Amino acid sequence: MAKKRVMFTFPPDLVTEPVIYHLAQQFRVVTNIRRADVAEDRGWVVLEVEGKEEDIDKGLEWVATKGVRVDPVGGDVVEG
């Protein structure tokens, strides 16, 4: 199993959409929210995504096509 850490930055129109839920359901990956800040008009989430490398990559591409900015994150953002 592969694991990637990414940061999603949501535009205002997608803040209330269940993008992370659909990512996990449609691409058979496990998601783990490590840190987040969500407001009415903006939001970002640091997320661990675990699964088959191919499923992770396809899922992250899908998220980007929805309009969410996807950036890689290094290290453990919660533990330091």
The pTM score is 0.88
Q: Is residue 80 part of a domain?
A: no
What is the rounded CA–CA span in Å between residue 32 and residue 7? 12
Number of domain units in the chain: 1
Q: The domain containing residue 17 runs over which residues?
A: 2-72
Q: Is residue 79 part of a domain?
A: no
- Indicate which CATH number applies to the domain containing 31: 3.30.70.260
**Model confidence pLDDT, tens digit, residues 10-56:** 999 999 999 999 999 999 999 999 999 999 889 999 999 999 999 99
The backbone region for 69, taken as left when phi is positive above 0, alpha when psi lies in -120 to 50, beta otherwise, is beta
What is the rounded CA–CA span in Å between residue 46 and residue 37? 9
